[in-house]
Amino acid sequence: MKSLLTRTLAALALTTLAACGSDGNAPNGSGQISLILKDVPGDFLVAVVTIDEIYLQGNGGRTVLSSTPVTTNLLTLAADAATLVDDVTIPAGSYSELRFVVSGAYIEVDEGNNSSSIYASSPNYAGLPLGAVVAGHLQMPSLGTSGLKVKLPAGGLTVNSGGSKILVVDFDVSQSFGHVAGNSGQWVMHPVVHATGIQLTGSAQVSLTLDPSVTLPVINNVQITLADFTASFTGSDNVPRTTAFADPDNDGTFTADLLWVAPGDYTFDIIPPTGITTFTTTPALPATITVAADGTASAAFTVTAASP
């Protein structure tokens, strides 16, 4: 696992653009900025948005950071992250606002009784899955024109000449969508979004291996592998952040990452796939993983037994 500042995020990386616009009152020189998008876990099944443009607002007007559209399911970002802007050069100076221009969105909500409903900004929204049935309208007041305003730390952002800023933009899905008053067939998007400095966040990576003496069972004619297990991280907010194990190097060591989260102690546990009733690991679970600011915590576990 590379350090927090140098890790390359593969998911949803936008093509970066040289910033346009200028700030007439900015000091000489330029700096760089990167943006990373995350999500606070919520109760929705799906929350997809399309971001058409990202820009900073300063004394000299608008400085565009990216104009390449990206569509992402915000719920996948609770334990992961997406790099939206990577080292874009902008004029040095002070910026009062960061804005996202959102052209479309849809949410899927659990209606109970094993049913769900989709609410979209348009029945023809390009981000909808093939064959989706839209049950109602999702309102997005002004998000496609002036854009949604992101709360910046300390009320603003200062980029010094030769300096570099990395911001984590946290989209709180659970607070960003609600029913339209008096109309159960419509929802409204009122995003709750804020940005924090990267120095206030950290990451964790957990590796999982299988003891050579252990053979995972076959369940319903399917061979279970470590990729079927799920990592769960729970912080002081008591909200579990789950992410799957993967073995991109095919070396038998599976890893699960928790990226760009607040420093502190996280209770770590492993959720077995359906059909496995008991399993043991070394060290024993649950365990505590301490995430430090601007660093990556690591831990390793070995499955020593698994029974269907």
pLDDT in tens, 249-261: 999 999 999 987 8
pLDDT value for 20: 34
Kindly write down the DSSP assignment for every residue of 234-271, as one continuous string: E-TT--EEEEE-B-TT-SS-EEEEEEEE-SEEEEEEEE
Q: d(Cα 91, Cα 77) in Å, to the nearest integer?
A: 30
Q: Rounded distance, CA 290 to CA 299, Å?
A: 10
Q: How confident is the model at residue 165 (pLDDT cuts 50, 70, 90)?
A: confident
Report in angstroms the alpha-carbon separations of 273 from 224, 276, 278, 282.
8, 6, 10, 18
pTM exceeds cut of 0.85: no
Residue 203 has pLDDT above 70, yes or no: yes
The pLDDT of residue 24 is 41
Question: 216-235: per-residue pLDDT in tens?
Answer: 999 989 999 999 999 999 99
pLDDT, one tens digit per residue, over 277-308 is 999 999 999 999 999 876 789 999 999 999 98
pLDDT exceeds cutoff 70 at 134: yes
For residue 25, pLDDT beyond 60 = no
For the 202-307 domain, the top CATH level (class) is: mainly beta
Q: What percent of the chain has pLDDT over 70?
A: 85
